[in-house]
Amino acid sequence: METSRYVQLDMQAFCQATEMSVAYVIEIVEHGIVEPTGRSPEEWLFDDFSPLIARRAAKLHRDLELEWEGVALALELLEEVQDLRAENARLRQRLGRYVQG
């Protein structure tokens, strides 16, 4: 479920928003957890949803003691569950129109 992003954060703003070090951010980017635009960390720009993902990833890494590969998989699965729940709600709504009618 990709939406348009208008706000872009450079590395400094991203680190401030997430309370993460540059080295930590580089690590999560290398594992594909967040995907900035730009060729190098100095040029990276993050969308406005990336800090939320990064904080969620850090929490999974810390609280569940997951390796970064596990964090990436967990985030992917959580997003898939969210998408399926939204689809289920839409289908229930459509079904409700037919059952009542």
pLDDT tens figures, 13-22: 999 999 999 9
| Structure confidence at residue 4 (pLDDT) | 53
- Residue 92 has a pLDDT of 94
Token pair of 50, please? 């990336």
Query: How far is 86 from 57, CA to CA, in rounded Å?
Result: 22
Point out the residues of the chain with pLDDT beneath 70.
1-5, 101
The domains found in the chain, sorted by start residue, are 8-100 (1.10.1660.10)
